[in-house]
Amino acid sequence: MSRKAEIVHIELCHKDAQVPKYSDKEDAGADIALCEDIEIRGGEVKLVGLGIKVAIPKGYEIQIRPRSGLSYKTKLRIPNSPATIDTNFRDELKIILHNIGKNTLKFKKGDRIAQLVLNEVPKAVYTPIDDVQEIKGDRGGGIGSTKLNSSN
């Protein structure tokens, strides 16, 4: 079964920017590479341009997510993951990177730093009512309400 494909127009706005690429035809995320060398000191949060602009089709978003191997092997984190890029955003995509470790992390131009995931986004119609408990569903209790920590 083939997957639905949507055209996402992309502008390379940095001389060393690369078009995002899927490592495997079944991957959900397309890898995005750095367009310049970067260093992030221990504890530092840095905003890094990705060198691309995108025209996302109406009804879709792009999420920027970490690459699991990079998160496992280093102290690099994307604190607002997944970052949502809305359909009408046309500036350069940037990523917030946080080095939670003590040592400086160094990455080279061309290193795959994150992945982009295209998602279809239905529009919600938020409708006020007097009591949401009247709507089918009986889950409540707040954070941890699935009773995963229950001793029963």
Tell me the pLDDT tens digit for each residue of 101-131: 999 999 999 999 999 999 999 999 999 999 9
Domain boundaries, position 35: 9-125
Could you give the number of structural domains in the chain?
Answer: 1
8 A C-beta contact, residue 47 and residue 106? no
The answer to whether residue 65 is domain-embedded is: yes
> For the whole model, what pTM was predicted?
0.82
The answer to whether residue 134 is domain-embedded is: no
Q: Which of 52, 44, 108, 29 is nearest to 76 (CA)?
A: 44
For the domain that residue 49 is a member of, what is the CATH number? 2.70.40.10
Amino acid at 123: K
The answer to whether residue 41 is domain-embedded is: yes
The answer to whether residue 2 is domain-embedded is: no
8 A C-beta contact, residue 35 and residue 12? no
State the pLDDT at residue 146. 61
The answer to whether residue 132 is domain-embedded is: no
The answer to whether residue 18 is domain-embedded is: yes
Lowest-confidence range among 33-42, 77-86, 102-111, 139-148?
139-148
The answer to whether residue 77 is domain-embedded is: yes
> 136 falls in which pLDDT band (50, 70, 90)?
confident
